[in-house]
């Protein structure tokens, strides 16, 4: 009997041990799966935010080109001094933009005079030239009816060697910049090494055709020239994109627009991480890129301590701790995701909305306008002489100035208005539910007065003013990007009119 009881007890202990071990294994497996899913969701969110930021920076580069286009469309002739002054307000913060060239159309009969003009400025000693694509060596441009030599380039100290280069000849073809221009389109090149820095990161060029005033047709006779923006994607990814601090990772950028994909970054072979990998589509000037982020492999979860098979309480405690741990981690992940979502819509310096946020709000507001019989105002606010403040007092003072301006905008706008910082010292205001122009002008007058009367930089800066461009929505236009472009042109008109004022866009600007 005692022997039989011993066998029964041993069997019961074995049964509890097996059940406890099975339960512990089940709990561990479920907890591990949840942990891996949470880690994957967290890493995906981090990678997605990086992709959004990269696309925003690419969009900023196209905005730079649009600003130059508006500058040239506003004047039939732009001097090298005007070009340099305009560039000094746009390019200092854009280290990924290696250059912005102006390449006017030069006929064969005009070539000698154009070359003499360049040489009189101490540039292009060998005249108009072209490149051998294989060796990047220069040679005098062959005789042809039309040339597009680089005549202005900023920053000039980095691009002096490029002055005189017939910039379209390198990309001649059935779908080259001239053919795209005659179709009224931009042309974006595949990645290529540049003559100014052949050993440096590759660049991508965006050709923006500039035509004589008057609209279509887009003909070679009406083509004034090309604005060419040289963008270095590697610099954008490595120096302008804020790094992910939570987990080691690597990035890769591939141009997939052509049949043969071209890896833009990194140019050298690297050991690709073995952890989670995510791919996102980016777009620049009609070219499609694939942006990849791969994280280093996550450390494996440790093996849970062995559970006492015969103690049900211990087994229950382990399960409760595992579930509690899962809930705590789930809450932490949800909070982190909420914070990431918030950061994706907020400008980190000023706390105002960013470009993505104001575009989303504009879409919602414009959808309501037709039913409410109201209109909205899109205003571009730009500080006058902000570069001089940065140069004189330093970038920290400039950042403090932007923060103080954001506070002035918060206090001076109506509760329904939206203020956003879209880059540098440029702010965009969205003022909905307007019924008369006086509703806009009254607010703008108060804002200009508040900016002029405010104490800036703890009395370091004597006086600050702003120029404001305004574009009004209506049945003919409720496109935020078009209204922003109009407001941007009106803002430059305000600057030309003497600064410290607002200007409302009209067809005459």
CA nearest to 437, candidates 477, 475, 479, 471? 471
Select from 201, 231, 261 the last residue of a domain.
231
Select from 203, 231, 259 the last residue of a domain.
231
Name the pTM for this structure.
Answer: 0.54
Give residue 9's pLDDT.
37
Encode pLDDT of 158-175 as tens digits.
Answer: 899 999 999 888 887 667
Average pLDDT, the chain: 82
Q: Which of 382, 417, 425, 488 is catalytic?
A: 425
Give residue 304's pLDDT.
34
Residue range 269-294: average pLDDT? 88
Lowest average pLDDT, out of 106-110, 269-273, 351-355, goes to 269-273
Q: Which two tokens stand for residue 71?
A: 């500058």
**Tally of structural domains, the chain:** 2
Is residue 189 domain-resident? yes
Rounded Cα–Cα distance for residues 350 and 344 (Å): 14
The residues with which 382 forms a beta bridge, in sequence order, are 426, 467
- Asked whether residue 150 carries a pLDDT value surpassing 90, the answer given is yes
Q: Determine the distance from the C-alpha atom of residue 33 to the mean position of all C-alpha atoms in its chain, rounded to a whole number.
A: 36
Radius of gyration, alpha carbons of the chain: 30
Encode pLDDT of 224-266 as tens digits.
Answer: 999 999 999 998 888 888 888 777 889 999 999 888 888 888 8
Domain of residue 137, CATH code: 3.30.450.350
* Cβ atoms of residues 66 and 485 within 8 Å: yes
Is residue 366 domain-resident? yes
Query: With pLDDT > 70 as the criterion, what percentage of the chain qualifies?
Result: 81
CA angle 330, 335, 337 (to 5 degrees): 90
Instruction: Decide the pairing of beta strands 129-131 and 187-188.
Output: unpaired
Residue 254 — left, alpha, or beta (φ > 0 → left; ψ -120 to 50 → alpha)?
beta
Residue range 384-402: average pLDDT? 79
Instruction: Decide the pairing of beta strands 502-504 and 466-472.
Output: parallel
- Asked whether residue 292 carries a pLDDT value surpassing 70, the answer given is yes
- Asked whether residue 107 carries a pLDDT value surpassing 70, the answer given is yes
DSSP assignment string, 317-383: HHHHHHHHHHHHHHHHHHHHHHHHHHHTTB-TTT-SB-HHHHHHHHHHHHHHHHHHT-EEEEEEEEE
Cβ of 398: how many Cβ atoms within 10 Å? 22
Select from 231, 255, 290 the last residue of a domain.
231
Is residue 205 domain-resident? yes
- Asked whether residue 152 carries a pLDDT value surpassing 90, the answer given is yes
- Asked whether residue 455 carries a pLDDT value surpassing 70, the answer given is no
Give residue 406's pLDDT.
85
Is residue 346 domain-resident? no
Most distant CA pair in the chain, distance: 121
User: In terms of domains, do 365 and 497 share one?
Assistant: yes
Lowest average pLDDT, out of 106-115, 221-230, 317-326, 353-362, goes to 317-326
* Cβ atoms of residues 129 and 140 within 8 Å: yes
Give residue 303's pLDDT.
37
- Asked whether residue 469 carries a pLDDT value surpassing 70, the answer given is yes
Rounded Cα–Cα distance for residues 24 and 479 (Å): 59
- Asked whether residue 375 carries a pLDDT value surpassing 80, the answer given is yes
**Overall size of the chain counted in residues:** 509
Q: Which two tokens stand for residue 87?
A: 């560039």
Rounded Cα–Cα distance for residues 353 and 364 (Å): 15
- Asked whether residue 447 carries a pLDDT value surpassing 70, the answer given is yes
User: In terms of domains, do 220 and 359 share one?
Assistant: no
Is residue 290 domain-resident? no
Domain of residue 434, CATH code: 3.30.70.270
Known catalytic residue: 5?
no
User: In terms of domains, do 500 and 362 share one?
Assistant: yes
Is residue 458 domain-resident? yes
Is residue 15 domain-resident? no
Instruction: Please report which helix (H) or strand (E) contains residue 230, including its range.
Output: strand 223-231
Higher pLDDT, 325 or 358: 358
Reported as a pLDDT band with limits 50, 70 and 90, residue 18 is low
Cβ-based burial of 20 (10 A; exposed 0-12, middle 13-18, buried ≥19): buried
Residue range 30-41: average pLDDT? 72
Q: Which domain covers residue 435, as residue numbers?
A: 355-504
Rounded Cα–Cα distance for residues 28 and 278 (Å): 27
Is residue 314 domain-resident? no
């Amino acid at each position: 009997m005692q022997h039989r009881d011993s066998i029964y007890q041993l069997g019961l202990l074995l049964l509890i041990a097996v059940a406890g071990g099975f339960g512990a294994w089940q709990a561990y497996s479920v907890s591990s799966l949840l942990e891996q899913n949470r880690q994957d969701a967290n890493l995906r969110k981090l990678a997605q935010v990086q992709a959004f930021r990269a696309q925003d920076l690419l969009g900023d580069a196209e905005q730079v080109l649009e600003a130059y286009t508006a500058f040239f469309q506003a004047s039939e002739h732009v001097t090298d001094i005007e070009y340099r002054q305009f560039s000094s307000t746009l390019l200092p913060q854009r280290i990924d933009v290696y250059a912005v060239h102006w390449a006017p159309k030069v006929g064969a009969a005009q070539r000698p005079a154009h070359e003499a003009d360049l040489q009189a400025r101490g540039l292009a000693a060998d005249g108009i030239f072209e490149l051998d694509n294989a060796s990047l060596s220069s040679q005098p441009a062959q005789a042809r009816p039309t040339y597009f030599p680089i005549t202005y380039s900023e920053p000039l100290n980095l691009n002096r060697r490029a002055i005189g280069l017939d910039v379209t000849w390198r990309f001649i073809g059935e779908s080259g910049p001239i053919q795209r221009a005659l179709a009224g389109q931009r042309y974006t090149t595949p990645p290529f090494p540049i003559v100014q820095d052949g050993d440096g990161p590759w660049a991508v060029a965006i050709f923006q055709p500039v035509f004589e005033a008057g609209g279509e047709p887009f003909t070679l006779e009406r083509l004034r020239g090309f604005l060419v923006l040289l963008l270095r994607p590697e610099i954008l990814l490595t120096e302008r994109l804020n790094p992910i601090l939570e987990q080691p990772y690597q990035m890769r950028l591939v141009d997939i627009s052509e049949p043969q994909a071209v890896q833009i970054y990194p140019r050298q072979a690297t050991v690709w991480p073995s952890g989670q990998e995510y791919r996102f589509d980016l777009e620049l000037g009609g070219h499609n890129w694939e942006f990849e982020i791969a994280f280093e492999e996550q450390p494996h979860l440790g093996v849970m301590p062995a559970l006492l098979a015969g103690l049900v309480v211990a087994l229950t405690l382990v399960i409760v701790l595992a579930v509690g741990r899962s809930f705590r981690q789930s809450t932490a992940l949800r909070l982190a995701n909420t914070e990431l979502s918030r950061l994706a819509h907020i400008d980190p310096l000023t706390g105002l909305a960013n470009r993505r946020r104001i575009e989303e709000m504009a879409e919602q507001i414009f959808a309501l306008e037709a039913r409410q019989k109201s209109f909205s105002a899109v205003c571009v606010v730009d500080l006058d002489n902000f570069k001089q403040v940065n140069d004189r007092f330093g970038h920290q003072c400039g950042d403090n100035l932007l923060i103080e301006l954001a506070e002035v905008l918060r206090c001076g706008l109506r509760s329904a208005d939206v203020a956003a910082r879209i880059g540098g010292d440029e702010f965009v205001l969205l003022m909905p539910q307007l019924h008369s122009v006086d509703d806009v002008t009254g607010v703008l007058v108060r804002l200009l007065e508040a900016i002029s009367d405010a104490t800036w930089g703890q009395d370091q800066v004597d006086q600050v003013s702003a120029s404001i461009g305004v574009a009004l929505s209506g049945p003919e236009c409720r496109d935020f990007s078009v209204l922003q472009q109009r407001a941007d042109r009106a803002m430059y008109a305000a600057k030309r009119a003497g600064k410290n004022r607002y200007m409302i866009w009209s067809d005459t600007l």
